[in-house]
Amino acid sequence: MSFRKEILDHGYLELVDTWGSEEQIIEAARMSTGKGFIGWGPIEKVCVHCHEGRVNVAMDAFHVSGVTDCPKCAGTGKVKGSGDEKLLRYLWENKHSTPFEMAGLTIEVQAPIFVFREWHRHRVPFSYNEMSARYVPLPDVNYVPTIERLMMNAGGSNKQAGVVKGAVELTTLAAEAFQKMLFELYATAEVAYRVALEKGVPKELARVHLPVGRYSRMRASANLRGWLAFISLRSAPNAQWEIRQYSDAVGELIGRLFPRTWSLFQESKK
């Protein structure tokens, strides 16, 4: 399966690899019984009453009395039972989490550096590998928030995005002026960066003045349990809007790869 989602002004999230499946989650959970994966959705089982009636009529009260329609199978000889969704739900609702470590995914992400700083704080079992400005010059790609994004908290509704004490309420004109200033600062920083590189300043030092709005790239890998723990925090309403866009994209991807687990996860957040 291919998946790529454009995020912010220059960012993206792309699937690199995935492993495991919801069937393997079930198989891992049944290691102690050796039953393995049985099947999804309603599954048919042989009706015990009808089976016994065919082998020995005397054993089946329904047939002895002349009743041919078993209340379990309605005369079909088959009984519909629940599939392995029932076990998957049981595992999730009772926090038997380790079977969900039997599946996972690796993604490639391009995001502003400040988004990566928030991302890397998580202590879930992530594996990261980010491009290094020690070895390659960082591309001149920088994040400029839209006017709508800048005005998102103009009324002070989000304490996490609070302004400094004594600040006036942001206006559209002030937001536009901030955008213009950002463009100018980014351009000045890029000129200084290129001049430093051309003058022989080591790449690892030529970058020291670059802003956290500069885009970087990384690959991130984790099992399904880890990704869901990440999303529970980074898609929360009080998380910063920018990282929520990336977290929501991971959720969209998980919904395609592991739809039953994703449905259970969403139910638990209601």
Q: Which residue has the tokens 């049944």?
A: 30
Residues in CB range of 23: below 8 A, 6 or more apart: 37, 84
* Residues, the chain: 270
C-alpha 218/C-alpha 220 separation (Å) is 6
Burial of 56 (0-12, 13-18, 19+ CB in 10 A): exposed
| 3-state class (DSSP) for residue 14 | strand
C-alpha 178/C-alpha 172 separation (Å) is 10
Residues identified as active-site: 234
| 3-state class (DSSP) for residue 189 | helix
- Look up residue 93 and give its amino acid: E
- Look up residue 56 and give its amino acid: N
**C-beta atoms surrounding 231 within 10 Å:** 20
